[in-house]
C-alpha cells in the first residue's frame, strides 16, 4: 500500500464561502479523502435591535447569550467587528437612530480584550425608541454614506463576510419601496461576492400564539432572511441560548459550495460528511451533486450548517483509474 498526504492551503475558490483544504489523503488501493476546514477570517456583524417599549426583556436575553453567539467565531480565530443600531428611523426622541451605532466604542472588535463587554454594552439600546420599527431603513442607512465614513468608519471591510442580525417583536414598517427583495439586493451589492452576505432574524415566529408580539406584524423580515438563506429564531424559544450558539457556529464556519476533486471519481463511490452527518447525494439544495465539467462536488445552497456539529467537511471517493 502506498500513502501520500498533501497539505494544501488555498486563499479561496469559487463558492459561497472561502475554505481551506487542510489535507488530501491518497491510499492506493482504496479511497481519496479531501478534508475541508471552513475558513472565514473576517466577519462584520450588524445588529439591528428593536428599541421600542416592549423589548426590554428580549434585549436582556440576547445580551445574556452573547457568549454563546460568539463562541465559535472566537474559538476559530475569526476577526469579528460588531456594530449595533436600532429600528428607530425617527431621531426626535433618541440619539441611536437612522443607522447610527450605539456606544462610546462604536465597533466592538474581537482583537480587543473587552470585546464581549463592549458588545454587551452596545446591545443595551434601551426601550425609548420609536414604536414604528423600520429595521430595513436603518440597516441601509448604517451601511451607506455618510454613516460609514462619519459615524462608524472602518466597519464594512471589503474582504469580510457581512451578517445582519435583527431582534424585534414586530414586523418591518420601513418605506414601502424597500421590499425584502430590494433590501437583500442592496446588501448583496455591497460585496463583490454576494454570497458573502447572510442574515438572521430573532422574532416572533408565524402562528406562534405563545409568544407576545406587537400588533404591527408582517412577514417582511422573515422573507428577507430566507432570501439570504439565513436563520429565523423564535424570540421566545425555550432553547434560545442553544439556538444562538448554532447561529454563531453557522456564521463563523460556513462551508464552501464547490470542492474541486484531485482525480476523476467513480461517482457512485462519493461520500460527503460533515462531522457525524452524511449529506444526501443528488440533492442540489440540501445535499450535494457532482459536476463532471468542473470535476467538483457542488454542495447545496440551502444546507443548514448551523444544525450540524463538526470541525471539517470530508469528501471521500474512489478514482476511476483505480477500479
Which of 209, 229, 252 is a domain's end point?
252
Residues 317 and 258 occupy one common structural domain:
yes
pLDDT in tens, 241-260: 999 988 887 776 555 577 88
- The answer to whether residues 162 and 28 belong to one domain is no
Let me know whether 230 and 93 are in one domain. yes
**Which is it for the CA torsion 238, 244, 250, 251, positive or negative?**
positive
67 and 91 both lie in a single domain:
yes
Q: Global pTM?
A: 0.72
Number of domains in the chain: 2
In this predicted structure, what is the pLDDT of residue 20?
A: 56
Q: Cell 428607530 belongs to which residue?
A: 88
Q: 127 and 15, same structural domain? A: no
- pLDDT < 50 regions, the chain: 1-19
Question: What's residue 272's pLDDT?
Answer: 94
Q: Which residue has the cell 470535476?
A: 295
Supply the CATH number for residue 306's domain.
2.60.40
The Cα-based distances of 123 to 81, 169, 304 in angstroms read 14, 16, 27
**CA dihedral (166, 168, 171, 174) positive or negative:** negative
114-171 pLDDT, tens per residue? 999 999 999 999 999 999 999 999 999 999 999 999 999 999 999 888 999 999 999 9
Asked if residue 190 and residue 223 are part of one domain, the reply reads: yes
Do 123 and 82 form a contact (C-beta atoms < 8 A)?
Answer: no
Predicted pLDDT of residue 306? 61
Distances (CA, A) of 192 to 131, 142, 186, 187, 302: 36, 19, 12, 11, 21
Q: Are 16 and 254 in contact (CB under 8 A)?
A: yes
Helix (H, G, I), strand (E, B) or coil at 56: helix
Same domain, 48 and 195: yes
What integer pLDDT is reported at residue 222 of this predicted model? 93
Cβ–Cβ under 8 Å, residues 125 and 108: no
**What was the pLDDT predicted at 22?**
65
Q: Examine the fold and report which residue of 237, 252, 267 is the final residue of a domain before the chain moves on.
A: 252
Residues 218 and 290 in one domain: no
Residues 132 and 216 placed together within one structural domain of the fold? yes
Which of 227, 252, 277 finishes a domain? 252
User: Do residues 93 and 164 share a domain?
Assistant: yes
Please tell me the predicted confidence (pLDDT) of residue 201.
Answer: 95
Annotate 165-198 with DSSP letters as a single string.
Answer: EEE-SS-----TT--HHHHHHHHHHTSSSGGGEE
Shared domain for 65 and 172, answered yes or no, is: yes
CA angle 300, 161, 97 (to 5 degrees): 120
Of the candidates 116, 120, 123, 79, which has an alpha carbon nearest to the alpha carbon of residue 101? 123
Q: Is the peptide bond before 29 cis (omega within 30 degrees of 0)?
A: yes
Residue 228 structural domain: 42-252
- CATH number of the domain that 158 lies in? 3.40.50.410
Helix, strand, coil shares of the chain as percentages rounded to 5?
25, 25, 50
As a whole number of angstroms, the longest Cα–Cα distance in the chain is 75
Q: How far apart are CA 137 and CA 142, in angstroms?
A: 9
**Is the sign of the CA dihedral 134, 140, 143, 149 positive or negative?**
negative
92 and 196 part of one domain:
yes
Amino acid at each position: 500500500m502506498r500513502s501520500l498526504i498533501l497539505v494544501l492551503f488555498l486563499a479561496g475558490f469559487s463558492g459561497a464561502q472561502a475554505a481551506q483544504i487542510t489535507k488530501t489523503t491518497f491510499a492506493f488501493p482504496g479511497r481519496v479523502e479531501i478534508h475541508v476546514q471552513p475558513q472565514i477570517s473576517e466577519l462584520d456583524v450588524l445588529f439591528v435591535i428593536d428599541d421600542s417599549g416592549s423589548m426590554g426583556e428580549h434585549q436582556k436575553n440576547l445580551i445574556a447569550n452573547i457568549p454563546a453567539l460568539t463562541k465559535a467565531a472566537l474559538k476559530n480565530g475569526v476577526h469579528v467587528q460588531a456594530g449595533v443600531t436600532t429600528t428607530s428611523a425617527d431621531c426626535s426622541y433618541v440619539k441611536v437612530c437612522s443607522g447610527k451605532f450605539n456606544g462610546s466604542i462604536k465597533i466592538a472588535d474581537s482583537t480587543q480584550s473587552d470585546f464581549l463587554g463592549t458588545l454587551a454594552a452596545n446591545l443595551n439600546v434601551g426601550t425609548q425608541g420609536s414604536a414604528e420599527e423600520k429595521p430595513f431603513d436603518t440597516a441601509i442607512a448604517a451601511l451607506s454614506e455618510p454613516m460609514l465614513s462619519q459615524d462608524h468608519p472602518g466597519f464594512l471591510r471589503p474582504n469580510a463576510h457581512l451578517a445582519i442580525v435583527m431582534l424585534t417583536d414586530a414586523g418591518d414598517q420601513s418605506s414601502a419601496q424597500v421590499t425584502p427583495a430590494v433590501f437583500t439586493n442592496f446588501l448583496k451589492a455591497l460585496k463583490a461576492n454576494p454570497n458573502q452576505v447572510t442574515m438572521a432574524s430573532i422574532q416572533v415566529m408565524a402562528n406562534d400564539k405563545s409568544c407576545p408580539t406587537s400588533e404591527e406584524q408582517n412577514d417582511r423580515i422573515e422573507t428577507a432572511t430566507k432570501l439570504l438563506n439565513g436563520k429565523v429564531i423564535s424570540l421566545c424559544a425555550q432553547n434560545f441560548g442553544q439556538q444562538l450558539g448554532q447561529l454563531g457556529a453557522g456564521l463563523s464556519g460556513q462551508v464552501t459550495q464547490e470542492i474541486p476533486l484531485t482525480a476523476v471519481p467513480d461517482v457512485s463511490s462519493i461520500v460527503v460528511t460533515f462531522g457525524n452527518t452524511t449529506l444526501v447525494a443528488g440533492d442540489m439544495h440540501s445535499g450535494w451533486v457532482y459536476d463532471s465539467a468542473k470535476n467538483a462536488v457542488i454542495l447545496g445552497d440551502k444546507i443548514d450548517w448551523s444544525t450540524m456539529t463538526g470541525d471539517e467537511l470530508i469528501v471521500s471517493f474512489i478514482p476511476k483509474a483505480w477500479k
